Amino acid sequence: MQFFFEVLIGGLLSGVMYSFVALGFVLIYKASGVFNFAQGAMVFFAALTFVGILETGVPFWLALILAFGAMVILGIATERIVLRPMVNQPPIALFMATIGLTFLIEGLAQAMWGSSVRGLDLGIQDEPIAWIMDATDIGVSKFDLFAAGVAAVLVTALALFFQYTRVGRALRAVADDHQAALSIGIPLQTIWRIVWAVAGFVALVAGLIWGARNGVQFALTFTALKALPVLILGGFTSVPGAIVGGLIIGSTEKLAEVYLGAHVGGGIDAWFPYILALGFLLVRPEGLFGEKHIDRV
């Protein structure tokens, strides 16, 4: 039983990682209806840029600001070069364009900073917290807990941003109805740029935490793909959904790997989230928190 809890908690906390990426997807999808396949590549780009800047001897805080600046530029460029010219195309074409964008961003990141694997130290160790270990015999990683804390802060900050700032309100209006928002004078393109910049910021936070945990490397982009089943579970338009979905995917994937994987040769976490999401889709296509959509004839 104790082992079960250890796996469960480890899974939940690693699920937070997926939530980070899913969060970026949700922001962009809500504001512009674009399913941004490149969110994972943006995480990779952010982490690599940060580490690359850090390696030039710049202090931590300045590297953070510069990397954020790079993400803003990337976001604005995406809006200008990809989204604006494609504004009247069907969503699926935009989706394919973001697949192209994924390749472009990955190539760009490595062209700028090289392809070698880098470590990233945020000063928090990936080791069990002593007092929890003493009290319950369950190992809970200090680092994972830190990541969960960051996620909580980030989600709260985003919620406040959406709820109480002028930009936030405009964003929600745009998410609700593009045409209506335009007609009351909300500048759509400005909003999109802001949302891509915010998604870039979320990607940076995700990149730092992931990079510190697993090293900054290309494989990150594959792990980031698991944010897709997270979205299906949580619903494309729901911030809480992204968090809950991430926790469900993270925990079930670890439990499945430990308890089922052992019998079939392991490695089932490569596909388990997708099959889980697939099964879920058949029961509830709109996700846990998504809005139900009725087709009118």
Comparing CB distances to another protein, the nearer of 173 and 225 is 225
Q: Which of residues 214-233 bind another protein (CB under 8 A)?
A: 222, 225, 228-229, 231-232
Give the ranges where the chain is alpha helix by DSSP (H): 2-32, 39-55, 60-78, 91-113, 130-136, 142-164, 166-176, 178-183, 188-214, 220-224, 227-234, 239-256, 262-264, 272-283
CB–CB of 287/231 below 8 Å?
A: yes
Q: Which of residues 23-42 bind another protein (CB under 8 A)?
A: 35
- Work out whether 252 is an interface residue with another protein (CB under 8 A): no
Instruction: Figure out which of the listed residues 1, 135, 184, 264 binds another protein, where binding follows CB under 8 A.
Output: 264
Instruction: Figure out which of the listed residues 65, 81, 117, 159 binds another protein, where binding follows CB under 8 A.
Output: 81
- Work out whether 88 is an interface residue with another protein (CB under 8 A): no
Q: How far apart are CA 220 and CA 222, in angstroms?
A: 5
- Work out whether 101 is an interface residue with another protein (CB under 8 A): yes
Instruction: Figure out which of the listed residues 17, 23, 48, 106 binds another protein, where binding follows CB under 8 A.
Output: 106
* CA separation, residue 88 to residues 84, 93, 203, 243 (Å): 9, 10, 27, 31
Bridge partners of 207?
none
Residue 226: what residue type? K
In the complex, the residues that contact another protein under the rule CB under 8 A are 35, 81-82, 85-86, 89, 91-93, 95-97, 99-108, 110-115, 222, 225, 228-229, 231-232, 264-268, 270-271, 274-275, 277-278, 281-282, 285, 294-295, 297
